[in-house]
Amino acid sequence: MTWQKQQLPGDHPLVKSGNVGVLLVNLGTPEAAEPKAVKRYLAEFLSDRRVIEIPPIAWQPILRGIILNTRPKKSAKAYAKVWTDEGSPLAVITRQQAEGLQQRIGTTVDVRYAMRYGNPSIPDQIDALHKAGCDRILLAPLYPQYSAATTATVVDKASEFLSKARWQSALRTLPPYHDDPAYIDALASDLTRQLDALSFDPEVLLLSFHGMPQRTLELGDPYHCHCRKTARLLAEKLAQSGSRSQMRIETSFQSRFGPAQWLEPATDDTLQAEGAKGTRRLAIVAPGFSADCVETLEELAIEGRAQFMNAGGEDFAVLSCLNTSDAGMDMLEKIVTRELSGWI
């Protein structure tokens, strides 16, 4: 820590500087599994122009008049199924990732976490890092695959705060790491560990990525291509071991919302189709999520299980995200440390 106090007037405030900060950022979560909290969260999330690209004059009446009066109650029930004593799984795991990374990197770097929507917020955490003397900050969106609706909106929010700051911290952004060998190796290692622990041998491993409207692909967003490349590289890495040569690997996209055409094939349709055509043993994982959340713990583990079993399936398993696994934390330490090169 450096204190700027040389040759200063007696009434000059002491200013901390010279530190380096890392801010891990994930999507966000309501503060409680209750309709009011979910409504506040959805109002912020679905008002982001990066997420909903419909002009506000057309979208806001739909959002305020219909969606925020109907969806919060349904979503709150889904959150309640996975809520823990510590709170939202996504928030808990992201905090644990920040704490684990802090232990690994040491005190030379101040590691914190934020949510793009909800709390702790990006502006509050950047402000806290700056007040702690961090005049160099690595902004680390925990999205392996880039999309304007995820990575870009994190950068937007950080830039919005810095645009009002008198003393701006230097900012770096962690690049998307969809094809990074450290990420692919971590996925392959952790999935192999989990598959080995199952009581059955899956016929199919379904890689389920979060969906996006088809229009995002047509407008030039690289998200779909990033997901497909991750799936290809992961399949090749898993095939190298040769231990599950009979396991078929498929890719799908989950969490469709609204009437627009979304990326296909859809996860729910795929689960039903696999059961209907005779697949009896299936495992599913969401490699695009850095931490388990309502989309994995409820949408896949509860709804997805019912969809597959009702279509004729017999054995079904949802594999965990990287979370704070050894492989996941090794990967996070490696890519973050790399991006801090020259600062530490």
Give me the DSSP letters along 103-124.
Answer: HHH-TTEEEEEEEEESSSBHHH
Q: Residue 300: inside a domain, yes or no?
A: yes
Q: Residue 219: inside a domain, yes or no?
A: yes
pTM for the model stands at 0.94
The CATH number of residue 291's host domain is 3.40.50.1400
Edge-first strand listing for the sheet containing 109-117: 109-117, 19-28, 134-141, 170-173
Choose one of 82, 113, 142: the last residue of a domain.
82
Kindly state the percentage of the chain with pLDDT values over 70. Answer: 96
Question: Could you tell me the residue range of the domain that residue 58 belongs to?
Answer: 30-82
CA angle 131, 128, 104 (to 5 degrees): 105
Residue 58 has pLDDT above 70, yes or no: yes
The pLDDT-based confidence of 216 (bands split at 50, 70, 90) is very high
The pLDDT-based confidence of 7 (bands split at 50, 70, 90) is low
Which of these ranges, 70-79, 147-156, 237-246, has the smallest mean pLDDT? Answer: 237-246
Rounded to the nearest angstrom, the gap between the alpha carbon of residue 154 and the centroid of all alpha carbons in its chain is 11
The predicted structure's pLDDT at residue 6: 54
* Cα first-last separation, the chain: 13
Residue 1 has pLDDT above 60, yes or no: no
Same domain, 59 and 186: no
The predicted structure's pLDDT at residue 8: 62
Q: Residue 254: inside a domain, yes or no?
A: yes
Q: Residue 116: inside a domain, yes or no?
A: no
Q: Residue 11: inside a domain, yes or no?
A: no
Q: Residue 40: inside a domain, yes or no?
A: yes
Same domain, 307 and 192: yes
Calculated CA dihedral for residues 30, 31, 37, 41, nearest 10 degrees: -30
At what angle are helices 181-196 and 223-241 packed, to 10 degrees?
Answer: 50
The predicted structure's pLDDT at residue 3: 46
Residue 160, judged by CB atoms within 10 A of its CB (0-12, 13-18, 19+), counts as exposed
Residues sharing a CB contact under 8 Å with residue 199, sequence separation 6 or more, in sequence order: 315
Q: Residue 105: inside a domain, yes or no?
A: no
Domain count for the chain? 2
Q: Residue 189: inside a domain, yes or no?
A: yes
Residue 49 has pLDDT above 70, yes or no: yes
Same domain, 193 and 310: yes
Residue 155 has pLDDT above 70, yes or no: yes
**Of 208, 188, 193, 195, the residue nearest 263 (C-alpha):** 208
Give the separation between CA 320 and CA 191, rounded to whole angstroms.
Answer: 8
